[in-house]
Structure 1
Amino acid sequence: MGKSKRNTPKPESNRAQRLAERRAAQEQAANAVTRPFQGLAAECDLVALREFVPSATATLKLAPGVAAERSVVLATVLPGAVAALVRAGDEEIGFVGVQVQQQGPDPAADLAAAILWTQSAEGGESLAAADAFEGGPSLIDVLDPGADLELTVHQDFDWWVPAGVTPDAQVAATIEQAKQAIMPSARIALGPDATGAAWWVDAGEKAHVRWVRPEPEDELMAALARLHAAGGLHLGDGSRFAGTFRTHGLLVPVFDLDRERHPDEWATPADEFAARLAAALDTDEPLSSEERRSRDGLRSRQVTLR
């Protein structure tokens, strides 16, 4: 009979490698920047684009001191999930992606490094991973911090290929495969008094609004608890508050929606909710016992993405 493998020790080299990988992951988590896009007017949209928007682009407004050799387009994801590429042609355009395959502890620093790379790269080149380093350029130094993103939301990835160019069979197959996995999405057009970035997404069985909020978490959670206790934590008929998740230092309330309604139909209910939430945020009174119970219940349904 052969020896049982149950008690056979694993090679020491494999164990050492696993321990090294675990330590590296722990160090990266410890060094991760809690709120990387803070200070930018587009913070909430940048978080949304990085975390859950499938396909969108926006031409970036660079900071005045940055020598702009070519325009730069921010994209949710680029082919191969690379950090950046420069599209060759009569008008060379730089593209940077926020959903990347390789990332460091500070996504804002990665994005800054990718933007600067597009200004010196040759047409047709791509950058697999951004070469950000401690003490290097920050995103606030590279982008105009007061500029919002003028977004174009796509329901496919045809924009990966320049207009008028017929992709080869392999590229066409990649685009079609990506298109099959995409979830229809739209940015809710909020009124001037509403804050944050509210995104509608059709996830299949349900539609949702995911609303990235800029307020400090404790203040926002208290305001949500006040609305919950008063029966105002909703977006009107056909909606239900589903919970919150935390990502990049911001809290994101999520609402389940009637998926038969068009995204534009949620703009007015969203503005009405924004007004209720603003009033709750302005309240300085201590939470009542019922509101504290609501807050505890809301926190029990909270998750952290990163």
Structure 2
Amino acid sequence: MAKRASVDFVLRPFEGLPGEPDWVAMREVVPSATGTARTTAEHGSRDVVVATALPLGWPALHRADGTLMVALQQNAGSGDASRDLADLLLQAAELPAGTPVTATRLPEPGPRLQDVLDLTVPFEVTVHEGFDWWVGSGIDESEDVRDALDRMNESVIQTERLTSVDAAYRAHMGDKDFLRWAQPHDEQVFLDALARLHARRESGLGDGGSVGRFIGAFRSCGLLVPVWDLDQSVSLEDLDAAVAALGERLDAALAVEGSLDANERRARAGLVARQLTLR
């Protein structure tokens, strides 16, 4: 029996896609959101809705209006999330309109999202308060879908996307608010820049960290996602301004050439110690 070909592991599966950090954020930290995409002419120039989750755990759907939908928040995979999602899109495209893909499979090597999607189409993200968009977007409202919708709406974490920078999301989690900001930069380069700021006590948000305090970072899909513990009383507008100011400081730090000094190296070691890897 011939051995089944396997897909190579890819550390940074969404690299090269428009909005790579938002793909990572939607996969890991945003409960309910959708993003826009389109397949290439070779694959029919089909409109695609990239979703955090779909009803009943469907991995993909060929909607009744012809739109393809694919869910990012899936645990099983081949080791290359881009290949897995492309395979699901292609499966959905072959199904009759109104039919979901109901189970995932481990694909063999083949086209990835970078091959299937038109890379000139911006990835525009809309964050939703709950999952009512399932019905509003043309998904049939069966009893099972309605039950799943009610369950998901009960557990959704209120999340807001900032406008001053890309891929930054505020999450309201009980008596805590957090900012999680997926970074597009090479991990080592970004850590050096953040260490320069941290050594000068400039890694927080607002004057002296009054808006938010940097508490660590996690790594997912090859990108770093720093996290800040926020003052819950701060408005979204003021948070946006504080994040924009931090973004300017980070840009300046990223432009610095040369080695870190001793204080910055100590700061960097502390940053690395507070990292986690999700996927």
TM-score (normalised: structure 1): 0.82
User: Which of 255-264 and 232-241 deviates more?
Assistant: 255-264
The sequence identity of aligned pairs, in percent, is 39
Q: Distance in 2 between matches of 1:240 and 1:95?
A: 37
TM-score (normalised: structure 2): 0.89
1:83 counterpart = 2:56: no
Equivalent in 225, 236, 259 of residue 252 of structure 1: 225
Q: Distance in 1 between matches of 2:118 and 2:35?
A: 14
Match of 1:233 in 2: 203
Secondary structure of 2:250 counterpart: helix
- Residue segments in structure 2 that go unaligned for 5+ positions in a row: 1-5
Equivalent in 19, 31, 46 of residue 54 of structure 1: 31
Q: Following TM superposition, where does structure 1 have runs of at least 4 consecutive aligned residues deviating by more than 4 angstroms?
A: 163-166
Secondary structure of 1:116 counterpart: helix
Please give the root-mean-square deviation of Cα atoms over the aligned residues, in Å.
2.2
Corresponding letter in the other structure for 1:143: L
Match of 2:67 in 1: 93
Q: Distance in 1 between matches of 2:113 and 2:59?
A: 15
1:1-306 aligned at under 5 Å gives the runs: 31-68=8-45, 70-88=46-64, 91-100=65-74, 102-131=76-105, 133-162=107-136, 167-190=141-164, 196-236=166-206, 237-306=210-279
Corresponding letter in the other structure for 1:84: A
Corresponding letter in the other structure for 1:109: R
User: Which of 31-40 and 141-150 deviates more?
Assistant: 141-150
User: Which of 156-165 and 146-155 deviates more?
Assistant: 156-165
Q: Distance in 2 between matches of 1:270 and 1:230?
A: 17
Contact 2:56 2:145 in 1 (8 A): no
Contact 2:167 2:182 in 1 (8 A): yes
Q: Highest Rg: 1 or 2?
A: 1
Could you say which structure has the greater relative contact order, defined with CA pairs below 8 angstroms and 6 or more residues apart?
A: 2
Q: Distance in 2 between matches of 1:129 and 1:170?
A: 17
CA separation of 1:165 and 1:63: change in aligned 2, threshold 3 A: closer
Cα deviations by residue, 1:245-298 (Å, 9 ceiling, x for unpaired): 111111111111112333333111111101100111111132111111111111
Q: Distance in 1 between matches of 2:138 and 2:20?
A: 34
CA separation of 1:165 and 1:43: change in aligned 2, threshold 3 A: closer
Match of 1:17 in 2: none
Q: Distance in 2 between matches of 1:257 and 1:224?
A: 18
Cα deviations by residue, 1:34-88 (Å, 9 ceiling, x for unpaired): 11011112211101111111001123122243213x5221110011222101233
Corresponding letter in the other structure for 2:36: T
Q: Distance in 1 between matches of 2:139 and 2:258?
A: 61
Corresponding letter in the other structure for 1:157: F
Q: How many residues align?
A: 271
Contact 1:96 1:114 in 2 (8 A): yes
